Amino acid sequence: MDKDKTSTRLASYLQNVRDGRLLNYSVLERELRKLSVPESTIHDCFSAELVKPNKYRVHIKDEASFQCLYARFAKSSLESRTSAALSGDSHRAKVSGSFLLLRNQHCPKPVVVWFEGDKFYCPVEPSKCALLVENLENYIATDQMVSFLNKCGVAVANNQIDVIYASGNQITNQLHHPFLKGYKQILCLFDVDLGALKVYQALCQMLPDTELRFAYPKDITRRLKDSERRMSASERAELLKYTGLSPELDFLIQNMRATGNKLEQETYLDLS
């Protein structure tokens, strides 16, 4: 029973690493050692960055090594929600399935891409490019958001792009990996805030061979200056952790720090 509890606890920590959440890295190391994971594997797989007392952002140094650990512990422990329910706490387990909503010019009404275990079912032929939209109001205005890409310096034909409802950090669910990796290019049209950068970083880690771009309008400097949404001092400091992912993102972070503001993507909608 103690081993089962350790395995379940480790599964939760590994999922938090995958989702980019802060955690106590010393506890993660301890749980790995309890299950006889070699020190060399721990060292090769992770690096930890202290954010605040006992809270670390853990980076995946070796994706292949992490996937081995994830498959060994996380899937077997977290995806058995039924077993967790029998013990009276189903919320400690990850749901074994998921879904995404997809729209394009060929299917203007959203279709459901269904995920179950390591398999997925998509009722339409995916395009080569995908646009991830974070907020529901923007997703409803799919055509407008695709047209808005022109203001972001992105040229994509309307009939060559799938628009997917990202719904916050749900898009980073590891179950979505086999489907998302089929896209040649993924454009992320998110809020301009710390949470969006976390999601983008998680996607970069999950899809290292995919061309990913954090899209924002070319007049972002003016938009941020005009925004009334202020960042806290801790948010401004934490932005620096996401530099280096791309030149475009570095420029965005520079403007966010200079203005001290963030931006909701609903402001991209033409409400006139």
Mean pLDDT over residues 237-247, rounded? 92
Confidence of residue 76 (pLDDT cuts 50, 70, 90): low
What is the predicted pLDDT for the residue at 197?
94
214-239 burial by CB neighbour count: b if 16+ within 10 A, else e?
bbbbeebeebbeebeeebeeebbebb
pTM: 0.67
pLDDT per residue over 190-205, tens digit each? Answer: 999 999 999 999 999 9
Amino acid at 48: A
Nearest to 70 by CA among 215, 173, 187, 146: 173
Nearest to 12 by CA among 68, 27, 1: 27
Please count the other Cβ atoms lying within 10 Å of the Cβ belonging to residue 262: 20
pLDDT per residue over 201-235, tens digit each? Answer: 999 999 999 999 999 999 999 999 999 999 999 99
pLDDT per residue over 2-42, tens digit each? Answer: 555 556 788 888 888 888 888 999 999 999 988 888 888 89
CA dist., res. 53 & res. 75, Å (int): 29
* More reliable by pLDDT, 81 or 56: 56
